[in-house]
Amino acid sequence: MAFLAMQSNFAGDSLMRRGVGFLIAAAALMAMVGNASADETDTRTFMDFNFKMSGGASTIPRTTVNFAGNYAPGTIIVNTAERRLYLVQPNGQALRYGIGVGRDGFRWGGTHRITAKKEWPSWTPPAQMLARRPDLPRHMKGGIDNPLGARAMYLGSTLYRIHGSNEPETIGQAVSSGCFRMTNEDVTDLYNRVSVGTTVVVKN
């Protein structure tokens, strides 16, 4: 009887050891899966081109607001004092975007039309800019490092554009030489909503 009891205790201990071993193995496997999932997420974020090209999000969210004014839907209103761009919508509303505007001495006003639209535009600094900044490249192909960003809309016969930027921290500031910069995400949204010929009213 004592022998049988010893066998029973041994079997119970063995089963307990196996159970504990199984639990430890299961926990280790779950940890490995968890780590693999985290690594996969990090890799996707690092490798995602759209994540990289966006240049981050603006601290000024795009939003729909009430808008008073005698402007036809589809008109773009740039308010340099507010550092906001409005795309007029029907029923007294507008889409409002945060923008970067010209620094002191480079702000301007007037009414123009969009005469061209380009995706991932190249950049050729004008002579006036090169005179101030001879260190600038004479030409830069379009891409994520280009200061014009993902999209550009050209304003009449002026040198100015509404364009993207990979420096979202500058949105809401007076930093440019007269152009209006937006995040790549916002400028792409605006680009898809307007066409060549759209009226742009710049209020300084």
Cα–Cα distance, 137 to 199 (Å, whole number): 32
* Mean pLDDT computed over every residue of the chain: 78
Does 86 lie in the same domain as 10? no
Residue 52, in any domain of the structure: no
How many domains would you assign to the chain? Answer: 2
Catalytically active residues, by annotation: 163, 179
- The mean pLDDT value for 53-80 works out to 86
For the stretch 138-169, pLDDT in tens is 788 989 889 999 999 999 989 899 999 989 99
Across the range 81-103, mean pLDDT stands at 97
Based on the fold, state whether residues 125 and 169 are members of the same structural domain: yes
Q: Would the pLDDT of 34 be above 90? A: no
| β-pair partners for 101 | 174
Read off the pLDDT band of 93 (50, 70, 90): very high
55 in any annotated domain: no
The pLDDT assigned to 38 comes to: 28
Give the Cβ contact number of residue 102 at 10 Å: 20
How would DSSP label each residue in 125-194?
--HHHHHH-TTS-S-B-SSTTSTTTTEEEEETTSS-EEE--S-GGGTTSEEESS-EE--HHHHHHHHHH-
- Does pTM surpass 0.85? no
Paired with 63 in beta bridges are 96
